[in-house]
């Protein structure tokens, strides 16, 4: 019972600590909303159109014969991230709400890093320190400052790594749990590819 309470306490403390890091970073780096790049503008445009029933299309800058916007099917960007944006944004420029989403995804990435280390039986405090430092790295700070699909890609990839760790540590007689983990890995693999097409190559690297 003491171990259970101790683990629960460490979980709570760790999540609170990582949440504070995520909130600090997002508020400090994006005081006026997430930064944008040309790709970001496309993600927001596609997400807004999807939210309003137009499908996964981009808005043409010119008007059609009736004086209204026309749309073009898009095949360049995978659909998962724009679809996720469509749940939150209210305008094609709603970077303030995207900032909130980025904070949640950054926190999720930190928690998954922590759980991966714990699955490898790394000490709790060491795991928390490494997870915190990982969130503070330049690459993570850069990614989560922008409206980029990498903000979703990273936690999905980390989730797949955690599933593999859990799978490898199960005894061979745990057939049901192994089957569940395999199914979860397949779902995450599909989500990874639908977030960024480079996910295909990442999946191929896992057997190595």
State the pLDDT at residue 88: 93
Structure-token match 């073009």, residue found: 72
- pTM surpassing 0.85? yes
Mean pLDDT (the chain) is 89
> Model confidence at 75, in pLDDT bands (50, 70, 90)?
confident
The pLDDT value recorded for residue 36 is 95
| pLDDT for the residue 165 | 92
**Residues belonging to the chain:** 208
Question: DSSP 3-state assignment of 33?
Answer: strand
* pLDDT tens string 110-129: 999 999 999 988 998 999 99
Instruction: Read off the pLDDT of each residue in 23-28 and give the average, rounded to a whole number.
Output: 93
Residue 208 has pLDDT above 60, yes or no: no
Q: Is 194 left (phi over 0), alpha (psi -120 to 50) or beta?
A: alpha
Q: Which residues of 132-169 are buried (b: 16+ CB within 10 A; e: fewer)?
A: bebbeeeebeebbbbbbbbbbbbbbbbbbbbbebbbee
Tokens of 85: 């944006």
* pLDDT score, position 10: 83
Mean pLDDT of 171-181: 88
Statement: residue 49 has pLDDT above 90: yes
The runs of H, that is alpha helices, within the chain are: 2-29, 38-51, 80-88, 95-119, 124-135, 138-143, 150-168, 175-195, 199-205
Q: Distance (Å, rounded) from C-alpha 58 to C-alpha 63?
A: 13
Q: Could you tell me if residue 93 is left (phi over 0), alpha (psi between -120 and 50 degrees) or otherwise beta? A: alpha
pLDDT at 63 over 60: no
pLDDT of residue 98 exceeding 80, the answer is yes
- Are 147 and 95 a contacting pair, CB within 8 Å? yes
Which is higher by pLDDT, 76 or 68? 76
d(CA 6, CA 14): 12
pLDDT of residue 48: 94
Minimum mean pLDDT range among 36-40, 167-171, 194-198, 200-204: 200-204
As a whole-number percent, the residues of the chain with pLDDT over 90 amount to 69
pLDDT band at 207 (very low <50, low <70, confident <90, very high): low
* pLDDT above 70: residue 184: yes
């Amino acid at each position: 019972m003491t171990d259970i309470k101790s683990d629960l306490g460490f979980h709570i403390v760790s999540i609170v600590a990582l949440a504070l890091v995520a909130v600090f970073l997002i508020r400090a780096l994006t005081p006026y909303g997430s930064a944008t790049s040309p790709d970001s503008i496309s993600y927001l445009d596609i997400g807004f159109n999807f939210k309003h029933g137009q499908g996964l299309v981009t808005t043409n800058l010119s008007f059609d014969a009736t004086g209204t916007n026309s749309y073009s099917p898009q095949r360049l960007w995978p659909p998962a991230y724009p679809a996720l944006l469509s749940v939150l944004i209210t305008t094609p420029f709603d970077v303030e709400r995207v900032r909130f989403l980025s904070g949640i995804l950054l926190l999720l990435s930190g928690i998954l890093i922590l759980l991966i280390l714990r699955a490898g039986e790394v000490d709790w405090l060491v795991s928390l320190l490494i997870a915190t430092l990982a969130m503070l790295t330049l690459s993570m700070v850069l990614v989560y400052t922008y409206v980029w699909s990498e903000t979703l890609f990273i936690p999905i990839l980390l989730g797949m790594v955690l599933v593999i760790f859990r799978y490898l540590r199960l005894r061979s007689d745990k057939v049901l749990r192994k089957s569940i983990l395999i199914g979860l890995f397949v779902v995450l693999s599909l989500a990874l590819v639908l977030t960024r097409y480079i996910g295909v190559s990442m999946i191929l690297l896992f057997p190595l």
